[in-house]
Amino acid sequence: MSTQRPMSVTRFVAAKKSARKLSMLTAYDYYWAQIFDEAGVDSLLVGDSMGMVVQGHSSTVPVTLDQIIYHAEIVCRAVKHALVVVDLPFGTYHISPEQALESAGRIIKETGANAVKLEGGVTQARTIAALAGADIPVMAHVGMRPQSVNALGGHGRIQRDSDRLLADAKAAEDAGAFAIVIELVPRQIAARITNELDIPTIGIGAGPECDGQVLVMHDVLGLTPKSFSPKFLKRYADLRGVAESAVRGFVEEVQTGVFPDDAHSHS
């Protein structure tokens, strides 16, 4: 039986003071969430990245609140130890803090998740404060913001305005965010932000100085095509190749009559 203690928001924040690096992966379904949880991942993010890696869209924008709640509830049912954070999808918190409270309230109540995540710093400070004031833990997200793909001119653009990035991070912390994702930012800027904040920074394409790292599960497991290879991505397996080989074997055995044999048939 596992002796791993459940990760709470309090423990997540305290990790920074002890210089303990935090691990985070995305998850969207039961068995992968269960595997990641048992493997000791500190936090699972039910990300709106599902729009691209699960639904096949070109961005995260089409993901709806109902869709992310559906996946988050499944993930939470599998998890015993990891901190589960759920993205607030595009358009579910931009109108007003009241809209954000309603959206986040549904997520927490209907899924059992521990926290929500939203993109933005200075522009979302009032919303972050409203969520924190309602005892809904909120993680912020600065740098390259996937939901702002149209405004930022596309995915994969490194954000280099250090003063603006630091202002966003500080605004989020001051408003009550318990952690901040920093995406596609030069490591020197991410290091500066990390050093000046009391809350953990979770990097993706932002260098090793961050307090933790997050990656999309499909990238870590090698499920995405090899043609997709941003600099920050490290594949720890080639499950795409394993799956293709397994399916080719199945197809061949069915076509040649090898499967099913006596061992795989009832009598």
Phi/psi at 164 (5° precision): -70, -40
> Which of 38, 119, 183, 253 does the annotation list as catalytic?
183
Alpha carbon distance 121, 164 (integer Å): 9
Q: Do residues 178 and 115 touch, judged by C-beta distance below 8 A? A: yes
Q: Do residues 161 and 135 touch, judged by C-beta distance below 8 A? A: no
The reply to whether 38 belongs to the active site is no
Helix (H) or strand (E) holding 31: helix 30-39
Beta strands in 119-208 (DSSP E): 138-143, 179-183, 201-204
Alpha carbon distance 196, 191 (integer Å): 9
**Exposure on the CB side of residue 265, measured as CA atoms within 13 A:** 7
Using DSSP's 3-state secondary structure scheme, residue 46 falls into: strand
> How far does Cα 9 stand from its chain's mean position?
15
Beta strands in the chain (DSSP E): 22-26, 43-46, 83-87, 115-117, 138-143, 179-183, 201-204, 212-215
DSSP 95-124: S-HHHHHHHHHHHHHHH--SEEE--BSGGG
Residues acting as catalytic residues: 183
